[in-house]
Amino acid sequence: ELRRRRQELRSRMELLIMETQAEVCRALAALDPGAAFSVDTWERKEGGGGVSCVLQDGEVFEKAGVNVSVVFGQLSEEAARQMRSRGKTLKAAEDGKLPFCAMGVSSVIHPKNPHVPTMHFNYRYFEIEEADGTKQWWFGGGTDLTPTYLNEEDAVHFHKTLKEACDKHDLKLYPKYKKWCDDYFYIKHRGERRGIGGIFFDDVDSPSKEEVFQFVQSCAKAVVPCYIPIVKKHCHDSFTPEEKLWQQLRRGRYVEFNLVYDRGTKFGLLTPGSRIESILMSLPLTARWEYMNIPPESSREAEILEVLRNPKDWVH
């Protein structure tokens, strides 16, 4: 009975990530009718595969990707080490093998217009079978926003929508996961966050599998309403070459975070047979690194930096 229930949850999670991918792709395609998604189905010889949907060089989106993957096999020693460093006790079989199953949906959307923020979300489920047959499982994920320029109204809308999704389950979740998000997307060598946050959580395995799944489902359903209205509102705003340049510099920071700190990127690069194109889909089409670019005080560029250095509470 337990095994049947476990399988059932795995298939429900698989369905949720597929539905989320379809829903987000539909919403993006509706805003950028001239652009077409390229859809790649890929398989991993070690087990599993996925579907990557990527839109490139549209009118509204410079690059937008939504990936789903369901992979299984043996956890690499390197990946197991990364998990143990987060406090997981994983008892491998004598031959060192740890069978795992991981599934998730993940997306990064880089718009052309500097007044439309970049958005990222990811929701995933992980299961590991230990040597004695016990299964460890957990969910992780989050949704966060990275604007080039600060628009308070948008920030409030984004955070409020995510807070409502969390509040349906437990009022403690939003403040906890908002702080986790601010702490996680921190570019230590720059002393600033990657964006204005949102929610982020990992290794969540309580109160029960069903309750955590319901919570993840609410978060996934909040993706379109928290972001699409912001895109609609700004995708036709006019912008200057200087604003476009600032967007390129901010994207450079995005790349730095993803390549140096992001756990998902690291896990992907350490997993044998993983699809590098899908993992690095999160990187923008274009970005810049200028030597010693410091915006003038009290400029709009300095304003966003202030918020990235000192995260704000947007909803209270």
What positions carry a catalytic annotation? 120
Nearest to 119, CA basis, from 274, 234, 12: 234
* Region of residue 284 (phi > 0: left; psi between -120 and 50: alpha; otherwise: beta): beta
Q: What is the DSSP string of 282-304?
A: GS-S-----TT--PPTTSHHHHH
**What φ, ψ does residue 280 adopt, rounded to 5°?**
-95, 10
Report residue 113 CA to chain centroid gap. Answer: 21
The three-class DSSP label of residue 133 is coil
Q: Give the CA radius of gyration of the chain.
A: 20
Phi, then psi, of 283 in degrees rounded to 5: -80, 140
Q: Give the separation between CA 220 and CA 222, rounded to whole angstroms.
A: 5
**Residues 102/271, Cβ–Cβ less than 8 Å:** no
Q: Which residues contact 102 (CB under 8 A, 6 or more apart)?
A: 69, 70, 71, 72, 124, 125, 126, 127
Q: What contacts 251, CB < 8 A, 6 or more positions away?
A: 110, 118, 284, 286, 287, 288
